[in-house]
Every structure is written in C-alpha cells, then in structure tokens.
Amino acid sequence: MITLTRLDGKELVVNADHILTVEATPDTVLMLTTGVHLMVKEPVEDLLERVAAWRRRCQLGPERRGEVRPFPRPVPQPIPQAEE
C-alpha cells in the first residue's frame, strides 16, 4: 500500500498491486484494475519509487519487533522414541 495525495490535498492509500497504468499529463493519472481513474499530485518518478519500495518491503517477509523472521519457519523434528 502506498500513500498518495489527491489534487485537493487529501491523502489516500492505494494498493500498489491494483495500479494498471500511470500517465504523466500535467497531473499524474492512475488507472486501477477496477477501472477507477485517480489524479494525484506526485510525479510519475516518485510514484514508481514508492511502488518499488513497497515491493521490496513485501519481499523481506514477516517482521517481528524490527527483526526479520525466517520464512518458512523450520519444521520441528520428531522426538526419537525410546526403544524397550
């Protein structure tokens, strides 16, 4: 999810995975996969950098208290049974 600014100054959060096209007119126009068009203040280059940063954060995996946890977690090994 990335935070953008509408032309009236209000902030909105957009799912970066739903951005279909970005067009540089005097303002930046986004077309979402739902068919919705959004006009935002951010230039195309800034928007692309935000999307790339979002994807990098997603690829890092789950975090806990700022520490990256391994994913998938190791599977616990079965405890050997004592032979009689």
Mean pLDDT of the chain: 84
Looking at the structure of the chain, the number of domains it has is 1
Amino acid 36: pLDDT? 93
Q: pLDDT tens for residues 68-81?
A: 556 566 667 777 77
In a domain, 56, yes or no: yes
Beta bridge partners of 6: 40
Whole-angstrom Cα distance, residue 64 to residue 16? 23
Segment 28-56 shows an average pLDDT of 92
In a domain, 54, yes or no: yes
Whole-angstrom Cα distance, residue 75 to residue 71? 11
pTM: 0.65
Which range marks the domain in which residue 49 is found?
2-60
Amino acid 72: pLDDT? 64
Q: pLDDT tens for residues 9-41?
A: 999 999 999 999 999 988 899 999 999 999 999
